[in-house]
Chains A and B, each alone.
Chain A
Amino acid sequence: MNPANYVILSAILFSLGAIGVLVRRNAIIVFMSVELMLNAANLAFVAFARTNGNLDGQVVAFFVMVVAAAEVVVGLAIIVTIFRSRRSASIDEPNLLKY
């Protein structure tokens, strides 16, 4: 197997995620894009772990998954709360938290 392929895939997924975060307004989609970036990173971790023959990368991938799950819980809760009060899932509207 050629690790380059996996890394290229990971880079493509990461870029897609990043573009999604930057251009989409819907909070749910942004959230999904973030998940995409996390998983792109996971893919790279696992690929390198496999290439280098040790388990560190896989362990980190597990960590990322756990953190991602926790993040989803908190993040979705916030999104739902905001949606309840504003009737909108746009990420640009709640901008009160500034200077």
Chain B
Amino acid sequence: MIELMPASGVFSLIWVLIALPLLGAGVLLLGGRRTNSWGPYLGVLTVVGSAVLAVFMLLAMMGQPANERSIGQTVFSWVFAGNLEVDMAFQLDQLSMVFVLLITIVGSLIHIYSIGYMSHDADKRKFFGYLNLFVAAMLLLVLANNYLLLYVGWEGVGLASYLLIGFWQIKPTAAAAAKKAFIINRVGDVGLSLAIMVMFATFGSVSFSDVFGQASAASEGTLTAIGLLLLLAACGKSAQFPLQAWLLDAMEGPTPVSALIHAATMVTAGVYLIVRSNAIFDRAVWAAAAVVLVGLITIFMGAIIGSAKDDIKKSLAGSTMSQIGYMIFAAGLGPIGYVFAIFHLLTHGVFKAGLFLGAGSVMHGMKDNVNMRRYGALRGLMIITFVTFMAGYLAIMGIPPFAGFWSKDEIIHAAFERSWVIGAAAILGAGITGFYMTRMVVMTFFGKARWEDDVHPHESPAVMTIPLVILAIGSTFLGMALLFWGNIETWLEPVVGFASGPTPLSSIALIAITLVVVLIGAFIGWRQYGAKPVPIEAPRGNWLTRAARRDLYGDDVNEVVIVKPSFALARWLNWFDSSWIDGVVGGVAAFVGGAAGRLRRTQSGFARSYALSMLGGAVLIAAALVLVRLS
């Protein structure tokens, strides 16, 4: 177990990382319309400020020896009662550091991009306020030093996601999608809550250092339970099977949101949670196996859905599901996979953000039409978007030397070290990636123009394309940079451990096989959509296509299994409440009322009948007295 170093120097400002965007959110959300003109710039500034601070922290951290890179900072005692003692405390170590950099830097780029993208929106200050809130919550999530505080960040990003998906809530679909995302995430939160409770009941603490330090003393059953509950939480936040249904609908939000929250950062929080809890998963074999299984299922679900959608954002969302499936999958492999899960997370964060922003740039030029069947031949009209999108395209397919190649290849490698079956499955997934990404690129940038007459495609302004260029550069070089210059394995090793084992195939052969499969997938994609014209009306397609268009019946299953029965139960209980529980109450009242109504008839108004009843009463009492006396 690594001792946390007291925060000194630049590290004493860890709380500022969170406070800056939080301040921005506060000013923007409370300031109202006054902030309309300068608000967006303030929003950008706070995040850039955090990014600069994070870079300084990285430099300071690199100057420390490897075992002194975990820094802790306790601000105050937060929740305490009995033997519960949870601090408002932060932990900045190598793992948090890379997340902080990803969040703040990609966050900054997306903030800048949004200035252009949201320039015509009347509520843009609100938009930037929510984005700032998101960044603050996400930073809290990765900087917390205990699970309860992590939960605050966890739910905070969920809230920001809810608010931003429903940003255009005048559209009923957006409002419904936001609600759906929040409620499905809440199911995951039950997992996280229960995991925290089991931890507390077992270890008497919820801080990372206590839980991980004592993990070896707990029984495997307990650890498996914690692991499975954490997996449930991760499934909710990272849109993994069986809680995947919300992510596709979440594309109702503005595109920068999809890029930042639903591609680069928030949805990867599940991966962070699992990797952070490596001490638990290392000792819970079955939980780890479940993680691998969930990851694998989602790789294919996401890829299949991504292959069938005509909506460019939904297709990318399917791809995100699938890629996060890879990360979860890698995280389930144990110490040989953790590092690569994070590695893929970082490269994916950059290239997928690039792809989403590219899609946003296309939409910006196409009057917000998202239907790829209405695109085509845009490569000449949006040159910067096209080139940067291609960088992301090559990166996600894993073509060397682009970023995705290094990270995905390592995951496939690690999978083979475990078993050739899951390794082969991972390669197959990569092949489908080749198919749907080629399909997307071909439908969007190649072929014949299919847009309507009143659409005039044009390149986006510089404030949007500059972030695209930066992300494209990242998509190209980040993999190499992290692997060769950043030594990501050794960097993360103190936190997550690292191991490598024998491989059944040599690395070169594996790389070759993967590339061939990916290229076959890409070729099929080109043959289907590039070699022949794309119909504007989608053909009916085979059963798999139809199922994929309906998100593989995810919504239908939820509807039948959960939503309908819940509302039926609610209606029944409502009836039960008014007719039975309140009915009993009303019945008693009616009985008393009725009896009283009958009794009062004796008040006839005839004085002599009253006198008779008085006499009768007096006689009765006298008789009773006499009888008692006699007996």
Contacts and interface: CB of A to CB of B under 8 A. Distances in A.
Q: Do any beta carbons of A and B sit within 8 angstroms of each other in the complex? A: yes
Interface of A: 18, 21-22, 30, 91-92, 95-99
B607 A91 contact: yes
A96 B615 CA distance: 23
Contacts of B605: 95-99
A22 B603 contact: no
18 contacts: A21-B608, A21-B611, A22-B611, A22-B612, A22-B615, A30-B607, A91-B607, A91-B608, A92-B608, A95-B604, A95-B605, A95-B606, A95-B607, A97-B605, A98-B603, A98-B605, A99-B603, A99-B604
Q: Chain B interface mostly helix, strand, loop or mixed?
A: helix
Contacts of B606: 92, 95
B600 interface: yes
Nearest to A24: B608
Nearest to A91: B607
B601 interface: yes
Given A99-B600, A99-B601, A18 B615 contact: yes
Contacts of B604: 95, 98-99
Nearest to A27: B607
Contacts of B607: 30, 91-92, 95
A77 to B, nearest CB: 16
Contacts of A30: 607-608
A81 B600 CA distance: 28
Nearest to A98: B605
A92 B601 CA distance: 17
A48 B282 CA distance: 102
A86 to B, nearest CB: 14
Interface in B592-610: 600-601, 603-608
Given A91-B607, A98-B604, 10 more contacts: A22-B608, A22-B615, A30-B608, A91-B608, A95-B604, A95-B605, A95-B606, A95-B607, A96-B605, A99-B600
Nearest to B612: A22
Nearest to B601: A99
A22 B609 CA distance: 8
A48 to B, nearest CB: 16
Nearest to B604: A98
Contacts of A91: 607-608
Most A C-beta atoms less than 10 A away, residue of B604, B607, B612: B607
Contacts of A97: 605
A78 to B, nearest CB: 11
A34 to B, nearest CB: 9
Interface in B601-628: 601, 603-608, 611-612, 615
Contacts of A21: 608, 611
A61 to B, nearest CB: 19
Contacts of B612: 22
A92 B609 CA distance: 10
A91 B612 CA distance: 14
A76 to B, nearest CB: 15
**Nearest 6 Cβ contacts at the A-B interface:** A98-B605, A95-B605, A99-B600, A99-B603, A21-B611, A98-B603
A5 B482 CA distance: 126
B154 to A, nearest CB: 67
A76 B615 CA distance: 23
Contacts of A95: 604-607
A99 B604 CA distance: 7
A41 B612 CA distance: 18
B597 to A, nearest CB: 9
Most B C-beta atoms less than 10 A away, residue of A18, A22, A99: A99
